[in-house]
A and B are shown apart, each in its own frame.
Chain A
Amino acid sequence: MNGSAVSRGAGLGQLDLETELREYAFGTALEKSDLVVIAVAFAGAVAAVAVVATGGVTSQTTAFSAVLVTNIAALALGGLVWRRARPSSAFGNLLLAEGALVLVSGLAGSPNSVLYLIGMLAVWAVALGATWLLLVFPGSRVTGAAWIVMAAALGTFLLGELPLIFMSSNVFGVSGITGCATACPANPALAVHAPAAAEVFRRVEGVLQATWGLGLVCFLTARFAWASRARRRLTFPVLVSAAPLVAVFTINAVVVDLAGVHPGSSGIEIFAGARIVYPLGFIAGLLFARAYAGEALAFMARKLVGRPSVAAVEQLVRRVLDDPQARLVFWLPRSGHFVDRHGTRAVLDPESAGLTWRAFGHGDAQVLAVVHDVALGEDPELVEAVGAASLLTLENRRLEHDLLDSVDALRASQRRLVGAASAERRKIERDLHDGVQQKLVALRIQLELVRDLARENGLGERLDGLATDFDDALDELRSTAHGIYPPLLADEGLEAALREVARRASVALTLDLEDVGRLSEDRETAIYYCCIEALQNVAKHAGEDAVASLRLWREPKAVRFSVRDDGVGFVPRPGTRGAGLTNMTDRIGAVGGTLAVRSDPGAGTTVSGGVAIDSDRSGDVVGV
């Protein structure tokens, strides 16, 4: 099978889905070639009946034409079904070709000796073709041991029958197809009448034909015995339906041709019946495979409810395909290759170790592939079912994965924004401190000097007022700059900055601050502001006598903090977070940290959180 073919999975568009449903229910519209086949088969059958009816040679005209017509119909039907079900397989065309040969073999019923000869040669071709069909099913080419059987079959014709045509007047009667044992048309190819030589060839033919028949029995039996389960599902109906034909043929070869016993008319009827039945096996095999695939799909669907892991899906695929080597690989569109479920690159080499693969996806976009035993190539319906079920299950997972991806991306961009904002605040603080504040301080010094000088001139009082205003402005600027970005946090880190916060806190506070070293600026800022916000909440909500405790500590992979109070507490209700809490959560979330608030009425409130410090960004911990 073509490993790179992308099978059509569940279409996303409604139109796609509709089309696929219609195709699934009614099959695709008949193609022109299919119509031609039907027309030819029909016309051929009519012609065959006509030929036989107009002065037929046989005593069993009706039976002959019935066999002929049903045989053509069965082969044409099989051909059409196969072409439809497995467009990539040549077997359907082989069935049609066989049908065409049967059509030609109808000439064997003609009283005209030339047409009769052509018809009889076609009968031989039909026999060889049937052998080919049985040998190659469900493929199209004869390989390996099958060649022995095919060689015996070809030898029977080329070394036995063909020479006989030139030296015997009555050559075809023995196969008993038309039953014209005594009243057959004359042989127009007869060149030399040599009964002795003919007897030799007849012997050769008998031996080869027996070999042919027995070889076919052995080959089909052996192949079935060694076949994979998938192949057995497909070939079992064929074996059953072809058994009468092969048996009759072989017995005929051994008993009639070799031992010279002439069959009774019942033998001919059995043979005719067997011919009608055997093409139906090819159709039944296909139906069996389809039915099994349907069952497998239903089985998988039952097993795949919930959110099975990729490993579980793969396990199920192995079970259903009955192939311990089967695995699922996933297409990475950006990298342009498949990976297995561990993310390891999967090299799909169709030649390797008897494995092949089939990709599934939407339209031309492949999503995943099922890698399986080559033998399963004979059961494409099953692989298709398994692949579609996996695709459907894992597609949801993929969407989920994509969603997580975008959440990650969102968080990263949030982190960048917060980081940029805090860097900007820090810069503004520096600018204020080194610029405006510096200048004001210098002016304040000068003002003091001027005030000293002015005292003597009575300007002192006015300048005193000015100095007070100046101090107020300076204080305001200082607290603004501090609020924008606390310089202690920038210079000395969390512990020093939080200690300073505690000194100025308006709540009674106990401290347990560990030296956690330096973290990245955004992490330090996030923790710092969360602590401040939490302390402000204590001051606002915990009540007059509440005592708070502020903790900061370092764990192997995280820096954690908690602000606990023994105040009045509250009943936390989902969805009623205040702006302060939302702010804290956002800030800490932006650096990948977490925040938890626990409170009970009368039992105080605890805000705790942490930020991981073992992240992929190196230089996170600047110094410990």
Chain B
Amino acid sequence: MSSASEVAGREAVYRLVVAEDAYLIREGIRSALEREEDEVEVLEYCPDLDSLLRAVEEHRPNVVITDIRMPPTNTDEGIRAATALRENHPEIGVVVISQYVSPHYALKLFEHGSAGRAYLLKEHVGHRIQLMEAIREVAAGGSVVDPKVVDVLVEARMRAKNSLLARLSTREREVLAGVATGASNAAIAESLFLTKRAVEKNINSLFAKLDLSDDKATSRRVRAALLFIADSDLEEKSDV
């Protein structure tokens, strides 16, 4: 179990390759990362999928930050890059940055395993804590989902009457959302002003209510929670 602070304590230097085709965003990322130069080193900025894959071979970074929609096809190059890297360089963490709040891409990113993958909204790249947390998590094999993506989902599911989420208490829902973002128990405890023990109790009860197995590996726990929020409601009732 690795929390962000533990990773930072090791004073690891993250060697990055960044892929983003839009100039303005690229410059934004550059400014954001320049702030962190004692912790982060950017080896190359790439404008498309091919140059990204080539740069990875050349520099062997430990983290890749990539846009989803890039040349050549402007569809899901970022996801494809993440899939390809899991195959060839499983040790490299990938932070996919996107303008889409849609969980579709997050789930697609996790389709072949969630370890070392993060899904971050582009507008939060400037948010120092979120960005660095994502980089640290994926480098350590963890998973992160932008809280906003989870919020949107939870909100929609809560609007739906009869939703399984409605069986949870408000506190349990908040904890579940935290789990889905990839936050550690400690981080959840901190953000909700709870004790770590209380968070663990909530997790146990909500996972029992939802019939989910609480996986000790955070990355898998994230995926299970996210999948549950996004889809389980739907699939579960499909044979009704």
Interface, chain A (partner B; CB < 8 A) = 433-434, 437-442, 444-449, 452, 471, 474, 478, 487-488, 491-492, 496, 499-500, 502-512, 544-545, 547, 549
Contact = CB atoms under 8 A, between A and B. Distances in A.
B99 A511 contact: no
Contacts of A502: 234
A442 B24 contact: yes
Nearest to A453: B35
A488 B104 contact: yes
Contacts of B24: 438-439, 441-442
30 contacts: A439-B24, A440-B123, A441-B28, A441-B99, A441-B122, A442-B22, A444-B123, A445-B32, A445-B122, A445-B123, A448-B126, A452-B35, A471-B123, A491-B75, A492-B104, A496-B104, A500-B103, A503-B156, A505-B156, A506-B159, A507-B160, A507-B161, A509-B237, A510-B240, A512-B238, A545-B162, A547-B162, A547-B237, A549-B238, A549-B240
Interface string B105-136: 00000000000000000111111100000000
B163 interface: yes
Interface residues of B, number: 42
A445 B125 contact: yes
Contacts of B100: 487
Given A433-B99, A445-B25, A488-B104, A505 B160 contact: yes
Contacts of A440: 123
A514 to B, nearest CB: 12
Looking at chain A's contact residues, the main secondary structure is: helix
B217 interface: no
A442 B124 CA distance: 10
Interface string B220-240: 000000000011011101111
Contacts of A500: 102-104
Looking at chain B's contact residues, the main secondary structure is: helix
A500 B28 CA distance: 29
A510 to B, nearest CB: 4
Given A441-B99, A442-B27, A452-B35, A509 B234 contact: yes
Contact of A503 (B22, B122, B125, B234): B234
B133 to A, nearest CB: 14
A386 B101 CA distance: 73
Contacts of B44: none
B29 interface: yes
B152 interface: yes
A138 B127 CA distance: 107
Interface string B186-211: 00000000000000000000000000
A257 to B, nearest CB: 110
B31 interface: yes
A544 B29 CA distance: 46
Given A478-B101, A500-B103, A545-B161, 9 more contacts: A441-B24, A448-B32, A452-B35, A488-B104, A499-B234, A504-B152, A509-B234, A510-B239, A510-B240
A547 B157 CA distance: 13
Return the 9 tightest CB-CB contacts between A and B, nearest first. Answer: A448-B126, A445-B28, A442-B24, A445-B126, A508-B162, A506-B159, A510-B237, A444-B123, A504-B156
B153 interface: yes
Most buried by A among B101, B124, B126, B163: B126
Contact of B25 (A442, A509, A511): A442
A139 to B, nearest CB: 81
A452 B153 CA distance: 29
B98 to A, nearest CB: 10
Given A434-B22, A441-B25, A442-B24, A474 B156 contact: no
B91 interface: no
Contact of B160 (A445, A487, A499, A506): A506
B76 interface: yes
Contacts of B102: 488, 500
Nearest to B235: A511
Contacts of B25: 438, 441-442, 445
Contacts of B124: 448
A466 B55 CA distance: 37
B198 to A, nearest CB: 29
Given A441-B99, A488-B104, A503 B161 contact: no
A519 B240 CA distance: 29
A446 B234 contact: no
Contacts of A507: 160-161
